[in-house]
Amino acid sequence: MSAEISTIFVNGIRTFPKNDNSPEWVVGNGVIVPRELLEFLKSTEAVENMTEYKGQKQLPITMIKNRNGSIGFRINNYKPKAEVQVQGNQEDDSDLPF
């Protein structure tokens, strides 16, 4: 029971593995390229996958570990399949004692 999803990576955020001499608490390093990120957030892929929470638009993302050990971000566009409700017999059962 899996829904089809496609992988859409977030543009404008780049991450790199941590340096060997980094403290233990450092997970990695990264940069944000504002122009690329803003263009991406206006793109069709981003807009179509936006959700709303408490009146605010948001873009759900999933953090992934890339082959080189860096962290990456992709849109979390998983949507469960809608359950089909089967309507049963609609007989009048108002005269039943329970």
For the segment 33-52, the average pLDDT, to the nearest whole number, is 95
Q: Are 8 and 47 in contact (CB under 8 A)?
A: no
State phi, psi for 29 to the nearest 5 degrees.
-125, 160
The residue extents of the domains of the chain are 13-75
Query: Could you give the count of Cα atoms lying within 13 Å of 23 in the half-sphere of its Cβ?
Result: 2
What confidence score (pLDDT) does residue 83 get?
72
- DSSP, res 9: B
Kindly indicate the confidence band of residue 1, based on its pLDDT and cuts at 50, 70 and 90: very low
What count of other Cβ atoms lies within 10 Å of the Cβ of residue 39? 13
Task: From 70, 75, 74, select the one nearest 15 (Cα to Cα).
Answer: 70
* 91 pLDDT above the threshold of 80: no
- Angle subtended at Cα 6 by Cα 15 and Cα 37, rounded to the nearest 5 degrees: 40
